[in-house]
Each structure stands twice: as C-alpha cells, then as structure tokens.
Copies of this chain bind each other. A is one copy, B any other.
Amino acid sequence: MANRKILIVDDESAIREMVRIGLEMAGFNCMEAADAQDAYGKILDARPDLILLDWMMPNTSGLELLRRLRRDDVSRDIPVIMLTAKDDEDNRIQGLDVGADDYITKPFSSRELLARIKAVLRRSADPEDGDAVEVSGLMLDPVSHRVFAESRPLEMGPTEYKLLKFFMTHQERAYSRGQLLDQVWGSNVYVEERTVDVHIRRLRKALETDIRDYGTLIQTVRGTGYRFSAAGLE
C-alpha cells in the first residue's frame, strides 16, 4: 500500500470527497478529477497507480475516456476500476471489453472498494521478467532472480542485481553515472553520483570467484562512467 497514487474521476464532488477520505485513511495517496479533460491532464502529469473511473459523466463518457487511456502508451498499463450504477450492466460489459480491470457498483462499501483496489494493484504489480542472459560463463536469470558463475549461485544485494541486469542487457556501451542512476535507481531519486561507484565496487566484488574474476567485465571509462563488455581486460 506504500504511497500508491489513486486518481478518482467523478463529477460529483461529494462522492469524490468521501472516497478520497476513506482511501487516504487506508494509506493511499489520492487525486481527484471532475471530468475527462481534467482526468487526462492529471494522468499525464502525476502517473497514478490506479484510476477509479465513474461511468456517468457529463461530457465525455467514461467509456470514451477509458478507450483513450488504453490507446495511449503513457496510460495503457494503469489499471482502471469502474464505478457503475447498479443496473448499468451494458456499460459494465463494455468497460471490461475496452480494458477496465474491474468494476464496482454504486453504492459500495468501503470494505469492498478496498478489497478490489488491493486485488487489482496486486495483479498489476511487477510484470517484469524476461529471458536469461549469459555472457562467457556468467548467467543472470530474471525468473529465479539469481546470478550464476559457472552454474554456482552468486550473492549480491538488490541494487547490485539490478545494476548487473542492466549491464548485461546493455552491453558494450558506456553509461554515465547519471544515466545509471536513472536506469537502475529510477529517475526520481536524488543520490550522489559517487554512490554509483560504491555499488560498482560492490558488484565487482560479488562477481569475484575462485575460477575467474567476472568483475573485470565491468570496465571504467575514465571521465565518463562505466561499461560492461564481454571482452575482459588484460
């Protein structure tokens, strides 16, 4: 539940308020929008983790907004829960077809709403994964979340793992510390650039084995940053 942003889209401010208060008490971070226009702006701006979308809206219908969201790359993956009237069955079905993740009928209990929000957020979390990468005896498997050197598992912290994963999927290219921070740490964290050096150091250390020092695969590019290259050093 940790600081997830939820956008509430409803033209009735009374309902928005009620829902917002409930959700904020439950630990969510809320924003409100009164119409589709407003909603769209806030979505682009704040990138909510989930959208509660009222179906009955004055200008653009909820359906139309949902369609637009599903077409756009920015909003394509944001889960949407529709709020529909009890007997508005047609809209519910249309909504599910267009890509709503769930719906809840008004009036609803706070408990039911919370349960559905939780479930949807859980389902849409971490869609990551990919294929295993292997470079001259060093293998990273995103499924098991593990790194092997000559089939022996290596130990390393989460950041080192992410760093290595990034390098192995972006070989033979130099990255500045800033770029690495963006890619591995995330673009909205502020830490010293030197922090990268320390983690590089930790990663290199974790890559040392009796058989071979895979740390040498990470090369420092003076004045620039670091590069992962299959051709070791000499």
B-binding residues in A (CB < 8 A): 86-87, 89, 92-93, 96, 105, 108-109, 111-112, 114-116, 118-119, 121-123, 125-126, 143-146, 152-153, 157-158, 172-174, 176, 178-179, 181-182, 187-190, 221-224, 227, 229, 232
**Residue numbers in B under 8 Å from A119 (CB-CB):** 187-190
9 pairs, A vs B, C-beta closer than 8 Å: A86-B86, A89-B108, A92-B112, A119-B188, A143-B173, A144-B172, A144-B173, A146-B174, A146-B227
Tell me how far the C-beta of A23 lies from the nearest C-beta in chain B, rounded to whole angstroms. 14
Question: Are A229 and B144 in touch, CB under 8 angstroms?
Answer: yes
- A224: which of B145, B172, B187 is its contact (CB, 8 Å)? B145
- A232: which of B114, B153, B181 is its contact (CB, 8 Å)? B153
Question: Are B109 and A174 in touch, CB under 8 angstroms?
Answer: no
Interface of A is mostly: mixed
Question: Are A227 and B115 in touch, CB under 8 angstroms?
Answer: no
Question: Are B89 and A112 in touch, CB under 8 angstroms?
Answer: yes
The 4 closest A-B pairs by CB, nearest first: A158-B223, A145-B174, A122-B178, A115-B190
How many angstroms between the C-alpha atoms of A179 and B189 in the bound complex? Answer: 27
How many angstroms between the C-alpha atoms of A146 and B86 in the bound complex? Answer: 45
Question: Are A118 and B174 in touch, CB under 8 angstroms?
Answer: no
Question: Are A93 and B111 in touch, CB under 8 angstroms?
Answer: yes
How many angstroms between the C-alpha atoms of A158 and B152 in the bound complex? Answer: 35
- A187: which of B122, B173, B222 is its contact (CB, 8 Å)? B122
Known interface pairs A86-B86, A178-B125. Does A224 touch B112 (Cβ–Cβ under 8 Å)? no
Question: Are A187 and B123 in touch, CB under 8 angstroms?
Answer: yes
Known interface pairs A144-B173, A145-B224, A232-B152. Does A109 touch B122 (Cβ–Cβ under 8 Å)? no
**Residue numbers in B under 8 Å from A108 (CB-CB):** 89
